[in-house]
């Protein structure tokens, strides 16, 4: 019963619970009917007990291949669990590569005493597991595991790695004795022990080679439309998180094309406060609103909503996220802007939220790995043109060549040495709130170096390397947290597996060509957005009004830092004197050198966020 209650906590729904075959199972139900919840039974398919969370995009195709029942355009988890169980019984270990979707599944064979925990590739609902002391507990949220009596203790290695912007190991969870089931992986438990099988590997994807640019563009458009169609299936009132860039507007255009002629798409955009000082670094723009309004003028069925988050800040929704996810991923403060948008979607009665988080790693990738690749392959014309048009890079052509094409091949020790010799700042160390001695003593500094920070130095594998680091467990936690808090599912068509695998297999010329970055996305955008937006080389700057928002709360934050610093536990990890000095020596505007900006905009909020997280988990009220 405690397991069920912990699953349902904060959702306004109920969970069903049963004991079966020596195993206790529980599932969050799509309703709040007490009588129905008491009658709940887990799905059984042959010898298997099946629990399922998420969605299967090609469910109709799979049901047809199995001569099974199509679970419907908006199926409940029980119908998807039945289809998934049938697929596993029919295709065995090959089933998960036939299925396209985002899901986590638990399979239990009581007779054989075999438990399988599976997550889909690329994106999936979280699945945490405790396998210690002769018992196995698996759940989509860690609070359910603690409800079963497992002690709630922070994993210090995960905490320190995360605070240095290192996502760490695929299995490493936020708590001692509680691990993640990695994406694209099955963990199998039986009386002999546990075996892990990673069934999807980004690095072994086939290359995609077509006959012409027109064929590449047609295939990309077709797959993105297919992905968007799947995301909208069964939904009546969709929303989209819309920026002024290249990615989400294309998803919006695809969504409008798939919707009924009279249907409208609610678009939610965060923007800067009116009193913003207007400062952004070279190569950036701070206000998304003009681009969104110009795009919406071409698409009159878009219903735009703008939110400047006035009176809100980096800690918006933090406590709710701590409860929903049990984590404090270092970029969680970056997502504070989105809470107002999710609230708006809920208020507007929207039943799905579309995003395009994976766009920068799929069709809209810049192609920065092309600089060393063009050198390696002797493609001098492409290399020269790429170097000549290297965005806002103010360095000489020779220095660009050395930095972008030659240095990525240096061995890690030599690469770090040359940066120190040239006086290059360690941006991760500046933005991290950790004490330097704690970062070293905890091993976090060495682990970060072994992980290849910063990742952009990697040569030809850079495209896959950056994508792999992005789509780790922490991002799935955050997305699952928003879904729990606001009760709306979130879908990202740019994370659709066939589309991702297509994009990752494309040649470099589809991303960096004749000096133009993001070539594929720009070509796909022809005719659906204003030319100024399509050809914009600057990047949208999330939180450009950081100085205004933090200045407003500086006295309050200083007082909080003073209170937090009284804790020996927190002061041993977080460099509060450095954070205090940054707040005391406050600039008059956001127009400061990058090192000073990172210290104040990044390290200060993260110090407070991480300290609050520790207090939240350990039950202190400071």
pLDDT tens figures, 380-396: 999 999 999 987 788 89
Instruction: Give the CB-side neighbour count of residue 470, counting CA atoms within 13 A.
Output: 16
Domain that holds residue 564: 546-618
Domain CATH for 262: 3.40.50.620
Terminal-residue alpha carbon distance, the chain? 32
Please give the pLDDT value at position 460.
Answer: 45
Please give the pLDDT value at position 461.
Answer: 47
- DSSP lists the bridge partners of residue 186 as 118, 197
Count of beta carbons in the 10 Å neighbourhood of residue 195: 10
Nearest Cα to 156, choosing from 368, 434, 419?
434
Instruction: Record the tokens describing residue 86, joined without a space.
Output: 């049938």
Give me the residues of the chain with pLDDT under 50, please. 459-461
Q: How far apart are CA 444 and CA 166, in angstroms?
A: 8
**Domain match, 182 and 224 both:** no
What 3-state class would DSSP assign to 198? strand
Q: How far apart are CA 295 and CA 253, in angstroms?
A: 10
**Domain match, 196 and 226 both:** no
**Domain match, 141 and 284 both:** no
pLDDT tens across 547-568, in order?
999 999 999 999 999 999 999 9
Helix (H) or strand (E) holding 159: helix 156-163
**Domain match, 160 and 237 both:** no
**Domain match, 218 and 113 both:** no
- Is 441 a member of any domain? no
Please give the pLDDT value at position 232.
Answer: 98
**The last residue of a domain, from among 155, 179, 200:** 200
Q: How far apart are CA 443 and CA 157, in angstroms?
A: 8
Please give the pLDDT value at position 457.
Answer: 59
**Domain match, 249 and 131 both:** no
**Domain match, 69 and 15 both:** yes
Please give the pLDDT value at position 622.
Answer: 61
pTM for this predicted structure: 0.94
**Domain match, 136 and 173 both:** yes
**Domain match, 78 and 154 both:** yes
**Domain match, 236 and 259 both:** yes
Please list, in sequence order, all residues whose beta carbon lies within 8 angstroms of the beta carbon of residue 163, skipping any fewer than 6 positions away: 330, 432, 433, 434, 439, 444, 573, 606, 610
**The last residue of a domain, from among 178, 200, 222:** 200
Integer-rounded Cα Rg, in Å, for the chain is 25
Please give the pLDDT value at position 4.
Answer: 78
Number of domains forming the structure of the chain: 3
- Is 357 a member of any domain? yes
Please give the pLDDT value at position 69.
Answer: 92
């Amino acid at each position: 019963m405690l397991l069920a209650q912990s699953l349902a906590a904060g959702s306004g729904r109920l969970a069903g619970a049963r004991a079966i075959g020596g195993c206790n199972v529980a599932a969050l139900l799509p309703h709040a009917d007490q009588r129905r919840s008491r009658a709940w039974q887990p799905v059984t398919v042959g010898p298997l007990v099946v629990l399922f969370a998420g969605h299967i995009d090609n469910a109709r195709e799979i049901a047809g291949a199995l001569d099974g029942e199509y679970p419907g355009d908006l199926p409940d988890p029980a119908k998807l669990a039945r289809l998934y169980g049938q697929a596993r019984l029919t295709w065995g270990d090959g089933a998960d590569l036939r299925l396209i979707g985002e899901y986590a599944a638990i399979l239990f064979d009581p007779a054989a005493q075999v438990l399988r925990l599976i997550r889909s590739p690329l994106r999936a609902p979280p699945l945490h597991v405790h396998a210690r002391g002769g018992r196995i507990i698996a759940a989509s949220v860690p609070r359910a595991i603690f409800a079963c009596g497992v002690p709630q203790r922070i994993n210090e290695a995960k905490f320190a790695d995360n605070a240095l912007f290192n996502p760490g190991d695929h299995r490493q969870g936020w708590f001692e004795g509680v691990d993640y089931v990695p994406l694209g992986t099955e963990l199998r438990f039986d009386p002999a022990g546990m075996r892990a099988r990673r069934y999807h590997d980004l690095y072994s994807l086939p290359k995609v080679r077509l006959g012409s640019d027109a064929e590449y563009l047609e295939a990309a458009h077709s797959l993105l439309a297919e992905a968007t169609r799947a995301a909208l299936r069964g939904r009546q009132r969709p929303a989209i998180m819309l920026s002024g860039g290249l990615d989400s507007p294309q998803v919006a255009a695809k969504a409008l094309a798939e919707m009924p002629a009279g249907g409208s798409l609610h678009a939610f955009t965060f923007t800067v406060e009116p009193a913003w000082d207007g400062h952004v670094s070279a190569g950036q723009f701070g206000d998304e609103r003009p681009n969104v309004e110009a795009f919406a003028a071409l698409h009159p069925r878009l219903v735009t909503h703008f939110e400047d988050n006035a009176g809100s800040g980096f800690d918006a929704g933090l406590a709710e996220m701590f409860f929903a996810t049990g984590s404090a991923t270092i970029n969680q403060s970056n997502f504070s802007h989105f809470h107002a948008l999710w609230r708006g979607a809920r208020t507007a009665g929207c039943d799905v939220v579309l995003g395009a988080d994976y766009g920068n790693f799929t069709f809209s990738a810049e192609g920065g790995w092309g600089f060393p690749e063009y050198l390696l392959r002797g493609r001098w014309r492409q290399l020269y043109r790429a170097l000549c048009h290297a965005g806002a890079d103010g360095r000489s052509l020779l220095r660009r060549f050395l930095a972008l094409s030659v240095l990525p091949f240096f061995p890690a020790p030599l690469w770090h040495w040359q940066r120190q010799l040239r006086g290059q700042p360690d941006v991760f160390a500046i933005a991290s709130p950790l004490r330097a001695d704690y970062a070293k003593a905890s091993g976090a500094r060495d682990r970060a170096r072994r992980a290849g920070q910063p990742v952009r130095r990697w040569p030809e594998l850079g495209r896959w390397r950056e994508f792999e680091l992005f789509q780790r467990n922490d991002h799935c936690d955050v997305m699952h947290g928003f879904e729990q808090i606001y009760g709306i599912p979130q879908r990202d068509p740019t994370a659709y597996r066939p589309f991702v695998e297509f994009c990752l297999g494309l040649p470099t010329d589809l991303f960096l060509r004749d000096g133009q970055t993001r070539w594929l996305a720009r070509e796909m955008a022809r005719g659906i957005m204003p030319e100024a937006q399509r050809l914009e080389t600057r990047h949208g700057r999330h939180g450009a009004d950081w100085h205004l928002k933090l200045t407003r709360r500086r006295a309050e934050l200083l007082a909080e830092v003073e209170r937090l610093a009284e804790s020996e536990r927190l002061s041993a990890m977080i460099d509060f004197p450095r954070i205090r000095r940054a707040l005391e020596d406050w600039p008059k505007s956001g127009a400061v050198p990058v090192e000073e900006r990172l210290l104040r905009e990044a390290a200060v909020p993260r110090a407070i966020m991480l300290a609050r997280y520790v207090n939240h988990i350990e039950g202190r009220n400071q």
